[in-house]
Amino acid sequence: MKNKLTELLKNKPQNLLNIFYTAGYPQLEDTTTLLTALEKAKVDLVEIGIPFSDPLADGPTIQESSKIALENGMSIEKLFSQLETHTPQVPVLLMGYLNPVMQYGLEAFCKKCQEVGVDGLIVPDLPMYIYQTEFKEVFEKYNISNIFLVTPQTSEKRIREIDDNSNGFIYAVSSASTTGSKADFSAAADYLGKLKDMKLKTPILTGFNIKNQQNFQDACNYVNGAIIGSEFIRQITDAQDLSKAATNFVTSIK
């Protein structure tokens, strides 16, 4: 089966909008409602968070959405059963912490990802050397891209190493921070400029702290696109009409 993510990224397109939300939030069955709405609104990629009890790389907004999703009864099994009812048209990434994936079973997890049309994984607590020694083979067997993060503190040498080991995009965190913190986006401009000048072979998307069209455009001046998570979750949290709120938000950005 072809990988929609690598297809999309083949010609290094610009202005890619990737929307993140937490599976099973605000209500358990909203996962596919949001996916459908985002597809119709023509986002380029969708990243779905698998909730975890101890999301240590996430800020308060995503922590809270994870907590509610778990209370709603979300699990990896449930997420796969939801995705089975809706074959994604856009590239879909799952973002999840290592422990729930390990308990599900790495091979079973990757196999299921391929079956339901998931193209890539972001596992923030999976370090590169463990990926290479223990995970890579299985990811490749099921044609799943692994997405690495880089930060302003990542050395050039390590960025080059990550570039060599990437087969999707590189997720550039725009300031050294947990998701959704309040730092000004402009602080990231220098850093993204440096990344641009490195002329990496892998496309770059930046995330963390992108909130509006201005931020999005600023980011796209340097890299291939941006990921919006916390702000999107804030927008849908109390929405009367979830699909409409999702559509309106995407329209306001792109």
Partner 1 sequence: MSYQVNEQGFYGEFGGAFIPELLYPNIEELQENYLAIEKSPEFQEEFHQLLKDYVGRPTPLFLAKRLSEKYGAQIWLKREDLCHTGAHKVNNTIGQILLAEKLGKKRIIAETGAGQHGVATATVCALKGLECIVYMGEKDIERQAPNVARMKMLGATVRPATSGSKTLKDATNEAMRDWINNPEDTHYIIGSVVGPHPYPDMVARYQSVISEEIKKQMDGLPDYVIACVGGGSNAMGAFYHFLDDKEVKLIGVEAAGLGVDTDKTAATLTLGTPGVLHASRSIMMQDKDGQVIEPHSISAGLDYPGIGPAHAWLKVSDRAQYMAVTDAAALEAAVEVSRLEGIIPALETAHAFSVLKDLDLKPTDRVVINLSGRGDKDMNTYMKELNLL
Q: Which stretches of the chain bind partner 1, using CB under 8 A?
A: 52-57, 59, 63, 67, 70, 75-77, 97-104, 124-127, 130, 148-151, 153-155, 158, 173, 176-178, 181
216 within 8 A of 226, measured Cβ to Cβ? yes
Cα torsion 33, 83, 67, 16: sign = negative
d(CA 248, CA 235): 9
In the complex, the smallest distance separating the C-beta of residue 162 from partner 1, rounded to whole angstroms, is 8
Three-state DSSP class for residue 2: coil
> Which candidate, 38, 88, 45, 48, places its Cα nearest to that of 250?
38
In the complex, the smallest distance separating the C-beta of residue 17 from partner 1, rounded to whole angstroms, is 23
Cα 56 → chain centroid: 16
CA dist list (Å): 19 to 22, 54, 90, 220: 10, 22, 11, 15
In the complex, the smallest distance separating the C-beta of residue 72 from partner 1, rounded to whole angstroms, is 13
End-to-end CA distance of the chain: 30
Q: Does residue 134 carry a catalytic annotation?
A: no
| Catalytic, out of 44, 58, 119, 231 | 58
For partner 1, the closer CB: 8 or 122: 122
For partner 1, the closer CB: 56 or 214: 56
| Catalytic, out of 7, 29, 44, 47 | 47
Q: Does residue 140 carry a catalytic annotation?
A: no
219 within 8 A of 226, measured Cβ to Cβ? yes
For partner 1, the closer CB: 77 or 140: 77
In the complex, the smallest distance separating the C-beta of residue 107 from partner 1, rounded to whole angstroms, is 15
For partner 1, the closer CB: 99 or 214: 99
Catalytic residues: 47, 58
